[in-house]
């Protein structure tokens, strides 16, 4: 399995390389795309997503076997620079030991992010985004530490106080006392492919008839079809419920979607369209 996987991986990378970009660089870029904490370490879910991005898909059983083979110290994290060097027969740099501060910190942060991600998907991202928007009274795309705690409680994400504190520290990398909540969503749920970003940008452009980064609410209502929404199909919500939820997510003045929320609109829709 390992031999076949590595052969297939090299073939895929060889096919995808462009002038001036080698296979190793391409592989490292693919890993970094999913390394939202920029730690140089990656957990199993992102390990699998990296190879899916390259074009290799394997089932859960094979994924578990391969990850275990490469996770030499069995701590649930792989140093992807070491993985790349080993794949291409280079002497790998010494990887942080299982008990090193770097790995312990990364594992703690990834555990917290994973927990928040699971709870967010269960509770609903739209609701969470509405609470964040409400806290952003200055409409600058940022919230303070207490605001984050309040939102976590209002959404009943049930994080322990210490976990909530650690979450804010993870997100407030520059120690400004504020976090960009759009970056927060990106950190929690990972990067978005260029294909999906372009898709949403094109969708917004179609709605923005006057090309002024404003979308008329009434126009959005007229073309938004909630009939195929999973909650509607399951009988949990009416089409009107879903439409109201959709509209409430964005900062409106009763006539328009405000243009500066375009990126927030894109981010939210990107992550809730799966």
**CB–CB of 2/66 below 8 Å?**
yes
pLDDT reported for residue 260: 36
Assess whether pLDDT exceeds 60 at residue 255.
no
Tens digits of residue pLDDT in 47-99:
999 999 899 998 999 999 999 999 988 888 999 998 999 999 886 566 556 56
**CB–CB of 188/120 below 8 Å?**
yes
Q: Name the pLDDT band for 141 (thresholds 50, 70, 90).
A: confident
How far, in Å, are 43, 119, 150, 183, 255 from residue 237 at the CA level?
36, 20, 26, 30, 25
Overall average pLDDT of the 155-171 stretch: 85
User: Which of 68-72, 98-102, 238-242 is predicted with the least confidence, judged by mean pLDDT?
Assistant: 98-102
Assess whether pLDDT exceeds 90 at residue 5.
yes
Assess whether pLDDT exceeds 70 at residue 236.
yes
**CB–CB of 139/264 below 8 Å?**
no
Tens digits of residue pLDDT in 171-229:
888 889 998 887 777 777 666 667 777 777 777 777 777 776 666 767 777 777 888 88
Output the six-digit token pair for 110: 């990834």
**Strand intervals (E) in 82-227:** 142-144, 178-180, 215-216
Residues 25, 31, 37, 43, Cα dihedral to 10°: -150
Assess whether pLDDT exceeds 50 at residue 261.
no
Instruction: Return mean pLDDT, the chain.
Output: 80
pTM over 0.85, yes/no: no
Assess whether pLDDT exceeds 90 at residue 23.
yes
Assess whether pLDDT exceeds 50 at residue 273.
no
Overall average pLDDT of the 233-260 stretch: 67
């Amino acid at each position: 399995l390992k031999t076949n996987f590595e052969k297939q991986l090299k073939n895929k990378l060889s096919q995808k390389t462009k002038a001036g970009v080698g296979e190793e660089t391409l592989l490292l870029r693919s890993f970094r795309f999913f390394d939202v904490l920029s730690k140089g370490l990656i957990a199993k879910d992102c390990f699998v997503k990296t190879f899916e991005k390259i074009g290799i898909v394997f089932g859960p059983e094979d994924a578990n076997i391969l990850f275990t083979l490469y996770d030499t110290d069995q701590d649930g994290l792989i140093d992807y620079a070491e993985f790349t060097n080993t794949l291409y027969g280079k002497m790998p740099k010494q990887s942080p030991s299982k008990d090193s501060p770097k790995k312990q910190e990364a594992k703690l942060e990834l555990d917290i992010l994973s927990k928040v991600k699971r709870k967010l998907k269960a509770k609903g991202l739209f609701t969470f985004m509405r609470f964040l928007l409400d806290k952003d009274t200055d409409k600058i795309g940022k919230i303070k530490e207490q605001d984050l705690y309040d939102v976590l409680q209002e959404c009943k994400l049930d994080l322990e106080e210490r976990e909530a504190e650690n979450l804010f520290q993870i997100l407030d990398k520059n120690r400004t006392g504020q976090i960009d909540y759009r970056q927060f969503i990106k950190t929690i749920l990972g990067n978005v492919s260029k294909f999906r970003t372009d898709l949403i940008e094109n969708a917004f452009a179609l709605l923005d008839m006057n090309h002024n980064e404003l979308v008329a609410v009434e126009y959005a209502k007229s073309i938004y079809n909630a009939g195929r929404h999973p909650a509607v199909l399951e009988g949990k919500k009416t089409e009107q419920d879903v439409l109201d939820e959709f509209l409430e997510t964005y900062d409106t003045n009763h006539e328009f979607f405000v243009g500066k929320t375009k990126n927030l609109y894109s981010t939210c829709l990107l992550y809730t369209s799966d």
